[in-house]
Amino acid sequence: MPQLQFPDGFLWGTATASYQVEGATDEDGRGPSIWDTFSATPGKVWRGQTGRVACDHYHRLDEDVELMKSLGVQTYRFSIAWPRIQPDGSGPANPAGLDFYDRLVDRLTAAGIKPMPTLYHWDLPQTLEDAGGWPERETAERFGEYAAIVGARLADRVDTWWTLNEPWCAAYLGYGNGHHAPGRTDPTAALTAAHHLLLGHGLAVQALRSAGAGQVSIVLNPTQFRGDEAAVRKGDAVANRIFFEPLFKGAYPEDLLGLTARHTDWSFVQDGDLEQINQPLDLLGVNYYNPTWVRDAPGAEESPVAPGVTDVEVWTPEELPVTDMGWPVEATGLTDLLVRLHKDYNVPLMVTENGAAYPTGPDAEGNVEDTERIDYLRSHIAAVHDAIEAGVDVRGYTAWSLMDNFEWAFGYDKRFGLVHVDYTTQKRTPKASARFYADVIAAGGLDR
Ligand code: IFM
């Protein structure tokens, strides 16, 4: 019996996303996405790398499901590429695109792994971006239609649906500082995009429920802020409560409107939008990697808290270890975040992403001894247990990521996988952390 035993029914999983693993970007009728365009633009992604081949998961689906089965994984959070389903982002479905995810869901179910698809993990059909992207209201409406198509095909076998992954990134990195596709740098567009992403979420929830979906929710990447009070309050408004409050309370926070007044008067919010967004959710997906330390800095617009919008600065205490992303390792932030979400919004939670990038590759014997990742996982899984002990209803944990993959603007330089991928041969090698995680799953817990 491990020291930290998780409750019966607690789900252990792994996660990936379509553009990061699938490859096959121009096969079987898939249309171009904003990430195809962005990564093909010189200077946007490390060494000009793209997701054209990635982990070739599109052709290795059976092998990858077997891999998860061998680790004892109980749920798989993957994402559906909208441009595979609707190559131009609207109109009838592309049958081959639907068939691929149908097959994946069937293979997972046969392997005893609960499928948890995310409808949008950032690969917007390029045609929709050409028409204005997420700052345009029509994109939200198209998203609702896409959700209805996918729901009609898969809802009978899907356990839990996630509408959006990390709308913070889609809005602020995509439209605020341009570090992600489509690479725009316009604070007003970022805030408008945030609203339309939320509206799209609300429309998708309703479409999925009409299709008979089981559990439906959204995945956020809320930031656990640390630092001076004024800065924490501002950061919390522009990065967190901008999403929490419309989702769970049906209103944007008052202080957000003041903090963003120099960029927008929010007149793009139409009557009825907040009711559409404020749909009952079965749980909330939480992605956590590290806390963020902030200090007040009026006028600082380049803050990574809400690029282009906030006036706070970010810093990292020197004594903390950092991962290969330069992100500080501090597991108590995860407990604090889960406790806070439980207290403020009283919704069941699932940790939908957590993990760390470290460069460790195969040694002379071909083993990948990634002890730093094991330490990271152990402390963060223990932090989830601490939250449960504190009374928080946490339903599961999905490690990011099943395997090394395309880490957006960092290309293949950053490795988050439990499984090592040799991008020349596509050989998958479970790292020591994969064996560690398999043991945690088998025991239903771990020693601290
Ligand atoms: O790889 C990403 C993922 O796509 C979204 N959440 C954060 C991960 C690590 O950066």
Tokens encoding 440 = 């945690």
Give the pLDDT of residue 296.
87
To test ligand 1's pocket by mutation, which of 118, 354, 401, 421 has the most ligand atoms within 8 angstroms of CB? 401
Domain spans of the chain, in order of start? 4-446
166 is catalytic: yes
Whether 353 is in the pocket of ligand 1, judged by its Cβ within 6 Å, is yes
For each of the chain's 448 residues, which pLDDT tens digit applies?
A: 999 999 999 999 999 999 999 999 999 999 999 999 999 999 999 999 999 999 999 999 999 999 999 999 999 999 999 999 999 999 999 999 999 999 999 999 999 999 999 999 999 999 999 999 999 999 999 999 999 999 999 999 998 999 999 999 999 999 999 999 999 999 999 999 999 999 999 999 999 999 999 999 999 999 999 999 999 999 999 999 999 999 999 999 999 999 899 899 999 999 999 999 999 999 999 999 999 999 988 777 666 777 666 778 899 999 999 999 999 999 999 999 999 999 999 999 999 999 999 999 999 999 999 999 999 999 999 999 999 999 999 999 999 999 999 999 999 999 999 999 999 999 999 999 999 999 999 999 999 9
**What is the residue whose two structure tokens read 């093909």?**
40
Q: 262: CA distance to ligand 1 center in Å?
A: 30
Query: Which ligand 1 atom is at minimum distance from the Cα of 325?
Result: 10
Q: 272: CA distance to ligand 1 center in Å?
A: 32
Query: Which ligand 1 atom is at minimum distance from the Cα of 165?
Result: 5
Whether 118 is in the pocket of ligand 1, judged by its Cβ within 6 Å, is no
To test ligand 1's pocket by mutation, which of 407, 413, 414, 418 has the most ligand atoms within 8 angstroms of CB? 407
Whether 247 is in the pocket of ligand 1, judged by its Cβ within 6 Å, is no
Which of 22, 166, 245, 330 is labelled catalytic?
A: 166
Which of 22, 129, 330, 353 is labelled catalytic?
A: 353
Whether 323 is in the pocket of ligand 1, judged by its Cβ within 6 Å, is no
| Residue with CA nearest ligand 1 atom 10 | 407
CATH for 4-446? Answer: 3.20.20.80
State the Cα–Cα distance between residues 308 and 431, nearest whole angstrom. Answer: 39
Q: Are 200 and 163 in contact (CB under 8 A)?
A: yes
**What contacts 325, CB < 8 A, 6 or more positions away?**
289, 356, 357, 410, 414
| Residue with CA nearest ligand 1 atom 9 | 407
- Tens of pLDDT, residue by residue over 55-88, are 999 999 999 999 999 999 999 999 999 999 999 9
Q: 399: CA distance to ligand 1 center in Å?
A: 11
Give the pLDDT of residue 394.
98
State the Cα–Cα distance between residues 445 and 425, nearest whole angstrom. Answer: 34
State the Cα–Cα distance between residues 231 and 434, nearest whole angstrom. Answer: 38
Query: Which ligand 1 atom is at minimum distance from the Cα of 121?
Result: 4
Q: 407: CA distance to ligand 1 center in Å?
A: 7
